[in-house]
């Protein structure tokens, strides 16, 4: 009897310990779940707070900069800003090197980074078909030499020549972005005079530094036509051009050149060897650089105000649709 009582006592004590421990474990588990719930709530609230602060900050940043819509001001409005100091390039006497088609009497002015590689490629293809062999890379230089023999130096021959004079232009912001992407990377900066001068000055290419000092590098970057304003380069405000066309207006280009270079042969839809539009990540890089232009819009508009005004004025008459970005 005595042994049985001790066993029952131990058994009761065991059940009591189990109940006590189990209760404590239950409370601990509930506490842990409550803490997790609170942590989740705190994380959500903190995330919402961060998002709210970010949105408000961006909204204020855009308000200060005058951003609207997609966050970038229409560059057609840049030249109307009172803070823009409009620069002049007339005194620098920058003479263009046109693409000249002697047989068809075409005088084509287009700046580097505004589609000159494409125009040259189409013209050389035409010359190769005409001559029955692949013409060398300097074939267009031979055409220029013939023109000079007929009419004198390029810088004085424009008014005297009876050629059809064509001006091909490009969206000025897209042209600048293309210049940066094509000539200011580590692999390619030695392919243009202006980028070599710039990198020699700063070592590490920075688009902010280039935009900040844009007028200086246009004038003192060894007068590189890659960065020279289009209107000043081709003297559009001084000379009369018979035809004007946007390099991105492929239909307009085809209609213009097909009668001369072959309706079935010309192909302005195809890209060129170093077309930045075909590069991976182009859209993201373009937006990032477009935002940089927005930040330095006073400097950009001060140097390219004639290009901006020309591109944006009477856009319907020149084949451009809508407002620019």
Tokens of 86: 């409009």
Tokens of 274: 């170093």
d(CA 75, CA 173): 8
d(CA 126, CA 165): 18
CA separation (Å) from 287 to 54, 155, 292, 298? Answer: 20, 38, 9, 19
pLDDT of residue 120: 94
Q: For 157-195, how does the pLDDT look when each residue is reduced to its tens digit (9 = 90+)?
A: 777 788 999 999 999 999 999 999 999 987 777 788 999
pLDDT means per 10 residues, the chain with 325 residues, are 48 42 46 53 47 40 40 90 90 76 95 94 95 92 90 78 93 96 83 90 91 94 90 88 95 96 89 55 89 97 96 64 47
Question: Strands, E, within the chain: which ranges?
Answer: 99-101, 106-109, 164-169, 243-246
- 144 Cβ neighbours under 8 A, 6+ residues apart: 97, 98, 100, 154
């Amino acid at each position: 009897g005595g042994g049985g009582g001790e066993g029952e006592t131990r058994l009761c004590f065991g059940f009591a310990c189990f109940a006590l421990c189990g209760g404590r474990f239950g409370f601990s588990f509930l506490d842990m779940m409550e803490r997790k719930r609170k942590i989740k709530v705190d994380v959500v609230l903190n995330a919402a707070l961060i998002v709210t602060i970010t949105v408000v900050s961006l909204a204020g940043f855009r308000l200060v900069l005058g951003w609207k819509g997609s966050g970038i001001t229409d560059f057609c409005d840049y030249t109307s800003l009172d803070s823009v100091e409009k620069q002049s390039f007339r005194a620098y006497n920058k003479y263009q090197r046109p693409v000249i088609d002697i047989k068809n009497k075409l005088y084509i002015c287009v700046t580097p980074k505004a589609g000159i590689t494409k125009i040259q490629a189409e013209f050389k293809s035409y010359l190769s078909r005409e001559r029955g062999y692949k013409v060398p890379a300097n074939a267009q230089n031979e055409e220029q030499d013939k023109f000079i023999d007929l009419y004198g130096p390029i810088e004085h021959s424009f008014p005297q020549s009876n050629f059809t004079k064509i001006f091909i232009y490009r969206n000025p912001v897209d042209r600048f972005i293309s210049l940066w992407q094509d000539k200011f990377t580590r692999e390619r900066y030695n392919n243009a005079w202006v980028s070599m001068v710039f990198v020699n000055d700063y070592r590490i290419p920075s688009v902010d530094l280039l935009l900040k000092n844009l007028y200086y590098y246009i004038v003192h970057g060894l007068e590189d036509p890659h960065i020279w304003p289009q209107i000043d380069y081709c003297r559009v405000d001084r000379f009369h051009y018979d035809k004007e066309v946007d390099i991105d207006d492929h239909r307009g280009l085809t209609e213009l050149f097909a009668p001369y270079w072959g309706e079935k042969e010309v192909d302005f839809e195809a890209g060129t060897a170093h077309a930045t539009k075909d590069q991976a990540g182009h859209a993201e890089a373009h937006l990032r650089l477009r935002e940089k232009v927005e930040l330095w819009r006073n400097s950009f508009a001060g140097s390219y105000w004639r290009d901006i005004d020309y591109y944006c004025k009477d856009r319907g008459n020149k084949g451009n649709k809508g407002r620019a970005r």
